[in-house]
Structure 1
């Protein structure tokens, strides 16, 4: 029997990347196939961030520093062994579904916004630390977390951010726009900055030289033909 080159396996499985059920079944065939498929399955979790099993695996990946910030909340972390794969290293996109997954992971009578934001901050810090090809991120007021900001400054792969902005988060965004030269796309899902905050934002955007695409609530201003598009 002729053995296929690794490139062929990757091409075949990549064509199934959105057929999650069949792709997962293929991952159970043998170790070799599994090594090809796991990176594909984890590259764009999106809606699957709502799955508590995904959140559990992500929590198992937190390091001591990321766990330490959650100590005041007396969270019982999963006691399972460390995952066989470095699953989060394959993630390329983190969106708003992460917040829903965190809510789902906690019993309804325990969850609070403060608790959810604390866990989200630790998970985002972990993603920025472990994801090797992270391209897209969804951020909100937790951008004020100094640990997250430091990871963002050092990250060289993120090129696109969806941002839900409030006045208290403007300083974090301004710092990123000043210091992160790899950021080329910024989309504001909503803006609640007030007059002073908006002035600061516009002044910062005026000085930024790396962005080539800017979106406001679904409307985009891009470099292509200088047009505004939906």
Structure 2
């Protein structure tokens, strides 16, 4: 029966099974093995593993396989720096690195931290270089990391998923500068070819230059997530993001600053495909951006906790006013440091609310019953809000705010579903 399934159908089937089932599938026969192995080897460095997973040490054995795939020059280089590669002979059935399509840097770091102490020689390679005695030395971890990255990037046809995420301090301290690793990867000879077909890119960065360069060259980027870790005041990174306005479907920005961004609506143009926009702790949001997201179906805005950051109510209002018929979900978070009636201003001054809007979620903040009524008038007809939902979430930091009888009267009058969550 297994031999009667066409290769095309088999690929479709195995692309939808779990990794442990893929391993079993690779043992069925030669044809199944040829199909299963490439799919299986997309997973080790591109899947979100649970760090409490008991099988994590088994996953780290992929490092042994990557070492076996290295050429003589790379193996000699690692041997000279104290690595014992006797457990990774240069004999492999498949070119495993060539199957890589997804790369999460933190996965590679985790696996190296688990596996490398087993292969670093205890003897001193050079009596003048005593640091090679320390199996946890950051130079050794960095060398192994870079050689595996070179192997993958040189062998793979392209990557469609790349994530540079934060890692625990006990891992990042093994490197001279963890965030510089990203820049060093992009400088590899085959990096441009490997990274130019990304569909998803997520990065935590302290330096916008390599991130900007990588984003700018993309042709099919659909999902982009940038966490600046601290507020980057730069003009180049926003423009790199804007350069992807034709393909982006999901955009997540955290801790970015637009204070130095000098964009004009005519130059920005429309994000013709963007469906999800998530903004958290960003500064200086520009009104010229708000009118660009006309295909949004989900908008989340989480305000900064900084006392001096003014809430960009004009930006939020503009999102509502320029939204097309696709906008279905809005989530707005207000910190207790906002003392003015910002939410009422948003509810009052948005000239129109898209009828497609299904859910609006407010986290903290206060608003008058009259403001709520005005919002509902532009949102739905009286008594016909059954498919609409208004959610009020209050956290521990929320200011004391209680809905009055008048609030509930308005909600009942328009028939909107209402939920209050702590």
Question: Shorter-chain TM-score category?
Answer: 0.7 to 0.9
Residue-by-residue CA offset, 1:192-217 (whole Å, 9 max, x unaligned):
35544x44423543455566132235
Q: Which has the larger radius of gyration?
A: 2
- Residue 117 of structure 2 aligns to a residue whose secondary structure is coil
Q: Is the 8 A contact 2:63 2:115 kept in 1?
A: yes
Q: Which residue of 1 aligns with 2:97?
A: 88
How well do the aligned residues superpose, as a CA RMSD in angstroms? 3.6
Q: Is the 8 A contact 1:143 1:149 kept in 2?
A: no
- Could you say which structure has the higher helix fraction? 1
Q: Which residue of 2 aligns with 1:127?
A: 152
1:215 aligns with 2:252: yes
Residue-by-residue CA offset, 1:49-95 (whole Å, 9 max, x unaligned):
86231011122333467668757743333541331012222222111
Q: Which runs of structure 2 are paired with 1:128-207 in the superposition (5 Å)?
A: 128-139=153-164, 140-145=179-184, 148=187, 150-155=189-194, 156-167=196-207, 170-188=208-226, 190-192=227-229, 195-196=232-233, 198-206=234-242
Q: Compared with structure 1, are the counterparts of its residues 160 and 199 closer, same or farther at alpha carbon in structure 2 (3 Å cutoff)?
A: same
Q: Compared with structure 1, are the counterparts of its residues 191 and 113 closer, same or farther at alpha carbon in structure 2 (3 Å cutoff)?
A: farther
Q: Is the 8 A contact 1:89 1:130 kept in 2?
A: yes
Q: Compared with structure 1, are the counterparts of its residues 150 and 68 closer, same or farther at alpha carbon in structure 2 (3 Å cutoff)?
A: farther
- Residue 225 of structure 1 aligns to a residue whose secondary structure is coil
Q: Is the 8 A contact 1:28 1:34 kept in 2?
A: yes
Q: Which runs of structure 2 are paired with 1:47-66 in the superposition (5 Å)?
A: 47=49, 51-63=59-71
Residue-by-residue CA offset, 1:107-141 (whole Å, 9 max, x unaligned):
29613444333332332232222223521012343
* Unpaired stretches in structure 1, ≥5 consecutive residues: none
Moved more, 95-104 or 177-186: 177-186
Pairwise CA distance, 1:165: 0.3
Q: Is the 8 A contact 1:9 1:36 kept in 2?
A: yes
Equivalent residue pairs, number: 223
Pairwise CA distance, 1:31: 1.9
What TM-score, normalized by structure 1, do the two folds share?
Answer: 0.75
Q: Compared with structure 1, are the counterparts of its residues 52 and 163 closer, same or farther at alpha carbon in structure 2 (3 Å cutoff)?
A: same
Q: Which residue of 2 aligns with 1:225?
A: 296
